[in-house]
Structure 1
Amino acid sequence: MTTSTPPLRQAARAVVLDADDRVLLLGYDENGGFWATPGGSLEDQEDHTQAVLRELGEELGADEKAVELGPQLAVRSKDHLVGGHEVRQEEKYFLARVAAAEVDPARATQPDNIRELRWWTLPELRDTREKVYPADLANLVAAVVEGRIPARPIILA
């Protein structure tokens, strides 16, 4: 076990909602399988909003012009392995509105290890027994759908 703090990795993620308030999650097989919001680490000279728009293109095939990027909703800090090395990932989550028809995995330039893209209704998200990251996503989506956008980013588990 390491006693020092792992290196910091800045990341930007999106809570992607369509016109029906369904949330888009990406399915992965590693670590027993899980679902997560789109996003990834910042590149050199990139801010969080630039990174999240780039990631939506790379992972979802969504054109930047088709994405209505909203406010930052949340933050999360998590230690985990990336490429076999432990990092402390600090994530900023942004609201993104995208028409479902604008998501085209065939246009994705870096689908990484994404097994599946799926639009989830809020009841499906609340009722699933599958692992979903971040753990508090259903409550955050419910607040957004009800028009309760946090005045300041909330902290996710």
Structure 2
Amino acid sequence: MTTSTPPLREAARAILLDADDRVLLLGYDDNGGFWATPGGSLEDGEDHTEAMLREVGEELGVDEEAVELGPQLAERSKNHLVGGHEVRQVEKYFLIRVSAGDVDPTRATQPDNIREHRWWSIADLRATAETVYPLGLADLIAAVTEGRVPKRPIVLS
């Protein structure tokens, strides 16, 4: 019996923090409902940074000039379904600082079934019973806001 490896799907995701160190998460109804960071797959010829900035514009209406791009903080690999086909998604997470006022979902060009946008404090993340992806996000954000930015991207589950 042979098993095949699902095709690779590279993705870039943004950990958007505002001046109050709140993170912006997107709410979805799929799979019982969950919250996740903005982002998506790379298009032909894009690198991770370009894809992440494009996705932030498409999903949140944020102009590229309004963001302060930080380092890659983390990565995560996961098999899941996209368009009914299993893929091996490899995500890279980048820090972005942005003013909450520069986020305007009414300018989003590809809202991708986003139900809701919400700014979360670290305390909100730690207290919620709702599903938030990636796991470990609250601890990562707490470390960043305390000045403990990882020297190399950490692996999230």
Provide the residue aligned with 2:122 in structure 1: 122
Cα separation, 2, equivalents of 1:83 and 1:102: 31
Where do residues 5-154 of structure 1 align in structure 2 (5 Å cutoff)?
A: 5-154=5-154
Cα separation, 1, equivalents of 2:51 and 2:69: 12
What is the one-letter code of the residue matched to 1:6? Answer: P
**How far is the alpha carbon of 1:121 from its aligned partner?**
0.6
**How far is the alpha carbon of 1:30 from its aligned partner?**
0.5
Cα separation, 1, equivalents of 2:156 and 2:112: 24
**How far is the alpha carbon of 1:3 from its aligned partner?**
2.5
Q: C-alpha deviations, 1:19-66, integer Å up to 9, x for none?
A: 000000000001000000000000010000000000000000000000
Q: CA RMSD in A?
A: 0.8
What is the one-letter code of the residue matched to 2:21? Answer: D
Cα separation, 1, equivalents of 2:87 and 2:143: 30
Unaligned runs of 5+ in 1: none
Task: State the 4+ residue runs in structure 1 displaced beyond 3 angstroms.
Answer: none
Q: C-alpha deviations, 1:108-152, integer Å up to 9, x for none?
A: 000011000000011000111000000110111111111100000
Q: C-alpha deviations, 1:87-128, integer Å up to 9, x for none?
A: 000000000001000000000000011000000011000111
TM-score (norm: length of structure 1): 0.98
What percent identity do the matched residue pairs reach? 78
Unaligned runs of 5+ in 2: none
What is the one-letter code of the residue matched to 2:155? Answer: I
Cα separation, 2, equivalents of 1:84 and 1:134: 22
Cα separation, 1, equivalents of 2:118 and 2:133: 14
Cα separation, 2, equivalents of 1:142 and 1:5: 35
What is the one-letter code of the residue matched to 1:66? Answer: A
Cα separation, 2, equivalents of 1:92 and 1:102: 23
**How far is the alpha carbon of 1:5 from its aligned partner?**
1.0
